[in-house]
Amino acid sequence: MHPLLSEAHEAYRLKVRKFAEEEIAPVAAQLDEEERFSPELTRKMGKAGFLGINIPTQFGGQGLDTLSYIIAVEELSRVDGSQAATVAAHNSLGLAPVFEFGTEEQKQKYLPKLTTGEHLWAFGLTEVNAGSDAKGVETKAKMVGNDWLINGSKRYITNVSNELTLGITILAMTPDENNLDIPTTLLVENGTPGFESKPMKGKMMWRASDTGKATFNDCRVPLNNVLGQPGYGLKNMLKTLDSGRLSIAAMGLGLAQGAFEMALKYAKKRTQFNQPISKNQAIQFKLADMAMKIELARNTLYNACKLKDQGLPFGKEAAMSKLYASEVAKEVADEALQIFSGAGLFKNNPIERFYRDQRILQIGEGTSEILRMVIARHLGV
Ligand SMILES: Cc1cc2nc3c(=O)[nH]c(=O)nc-3n(C[C@H](O)[C@H](O)[C@H](O)COP(=O)(O)OP(=O)(O)OC[C@H]3O[C@@H](n4cnc5c(N)ncnc54)[C@H](O)[C@@H]3O)c2cc1C
């Protein structure tokens, strides 16, 4: 057992692993091939309690700690990146800001609906001219009577364009008393006139996860749909991303673990020159390096989670975990594929999907370049 984990954490890991192997593994390749988001599977993940892991039970969540949530994402990713993405985006980007910055009324209104698996909530920061540079957001909202009037668009948004989407939290620029733009987060419910979303197809990875574009054309939401205080939107979003980075790190760790297990099994079974390829030192060294990197990624991530659970600063450690685990995922998936060689290049082998799925992890929620800048900032340089 990992020293930072309790017996309850390990029991939870087994529960999620069982679900992932029984419910997700059999359908993952087909959903990937068809580039299809599955509402049925999402509902099942909701029933299993994976959508609302950190949300208190009074709002319908599981009331578990950060480590439990991270273990869940890790175990889902060990089997399939797409389903892990649906769960991670909903928990850390959809639910978390509503829980953390929402009024009691907003929490009562949305959270119980968002912890069942019947609905998902999205998080919209990214725009055509605002990717790494969140300050470049061009979506505008202004007060008109009792409403915010929103115009603009968001792209590459997870969970925004499927039949379970209940709404989205967006960052928009709103005018302050001097008519200067200030960043504000707003809640927009699906079905609000002027709000539209549609899937963005043709992804190389996470093909069974919903990624969409959202547009706001004279979209009106009530004034009390502001999340937190006007002007604090960017701060809230960046705080949300600190925790979101733990999720991406967990996806990297889980994906690397899954790829490693597949490669280890194959290396022991595949015979060339009258012996298993695992008898060659070249293959043994690859496996040893993979195991070592996974171990280090796991320790760094669990340490960051422990800091968060203890209410201590964890931004630097979250950035380090995300950067490191996403790069470990890339290296391990690549070496695993090398061990499979020809057999790894066909779609009937899950390593082919893992090799594609790892690529987003060095991009989403802060590219590796931006993460290095974040860490450097924590170092005071
Ligand atoms: C499948 C998927 C799901 C996503 N889900 C969401 C979501 O739910 N919500 C959301 O808001 N966004 C989401 N995103 C967006 C994601 O977070 C962005 O793609 C990411 O932040 C990078 O932005 P960009 O793609 O515009 O790249 P850019 O910002 O255009 O960067 C391009 C390159 O320039 C580099 N670069 C930029 N600035 C600097 C600099 N100052 N110094 C050095 N290098 C720099 C970057 O590192 C990168 O290599 C998703 C993206 C994908 C692909």
- 3-class SS letters over the chain: CCCCCCHHHHHHHHHHHHHHHHHHHHHHHHHHHHCCCCHHHHHHHHHCCCCCCCCCHHHCCCCCCHHHHHHHHHHHHCCCHHHHHHHHHHHHHHHHHHHHHCCHHHHHHHHHHHCCCCCEEEEECCECCECCCHHHCCCEEEEECCEEEEEEEEEEEECCCCCCEEEEEEEEEEECCCCCEEEEEEEEECCCCCEEEEECCCCCCCCCCCEEEEEEEEEEEEHHHEECCCCCHHHHHHHHHHHHHHHHHHHHHHHHHHHHHHHHHHHHHCEECCEEHHHCHHHHHHHHHHHHHHHHHHHHHHHHHHHHHCCCCCHHHHHHHHHHHHHHHHHHHHHHHHHHHHHHCCCCCHHHHHHHHHHHHHCCCCCHHHHHHHHHHHCCC
Question: Which one is the CATH code of 235-378: 1.20.140.10, 2.30.29.30, 3.30.1050.10, 1.20.1250.20?
Answer: 1.20.140.10
Dist. CA 139–CA 152, nearest whole Å:
4
Q: Report the pLDDT value the prediction gives residue 368, as an integer from 0 to 100.
A: 98
pLDDT digits (tens, 9 = 90+) for 9-65: 999 999 999 999 999 999 999 999 999 999 999 999 999 999 999 999 999 999 999
- Cα of 177 to ligand 1 centre, how many Å? 32
Q: Report the pLDDT value the prediction gives residue 141, as an integer from 0 to 100.
A: 98
- Cα of 244 to ligand 1 centre, how many Å? 14
Per the CATH hierarchy, to which homologous superfamily does domain 7-114 belong?
Answer: Acyl-CoA dehydrogenase/oxidase, N-terminal domain (1.10.540.10)
Query: What is the residue with the minimal CA distance to atom 14 of ligand 1?
Result: 156
Instruction: Quickly state the pLDDT bin for 1 (edges 50, 70, 90).
Output: confident
Question: Under CATH, what is the fold of the domain 120-231?
Answer: Butyryl-CoA Dehydrogenase, subunit A; domain 2 (2.40.110)
Q: What average pLDDT does range 292-299 have in this prediction?
A: 98
Instruction: Quickly state the pLDDT bin for 375 (edges 50, 70, 90).
Output: very high
Q: Is 161 in the pocket of ligand 1 (CB under 6 A)?
A: no
Dist. CA 13–CA 53, nearest whole Å:
13
Which of 86, 177, 87, 183 shows the shortest CA–CA distance to 127? 183
Q: pLDDT: is 162 or 238 the higher one?
A: 162
Please say whether the beta carbons of 204 and 226 come within 8 A: no
Q: Environment class of residue 315 by beta-carbon count within 10 Å: exposed (0-12), middle (13-18) or buried (19+)? A: buried
Instruction: Quickly state the pLDDT bin for 232 (edges 50, 70, 90).
Output: very high
Average pLDDT value for the chain:
97
- Cα of 127 to ligand 1 centre, how many Å? 10
345: pLDDT strictly greater than 90? yes
Q: What residues are labeled active site?
A: 365
Instruction: Quickly state the pLDDT bin for 215 (edges 50, 70, 90).
Output: very high
364: pLDDT strictly greater than 90? yes
Locate the domains of the chain by residue range: 7-114, 120-231, 235-378
| The two domains 120-231 and 235-378 share their CATH topology (first three levels equal) | no
Indicate which atom in ligand 1 lies nearest the CA of residue 158.
Answer: 8
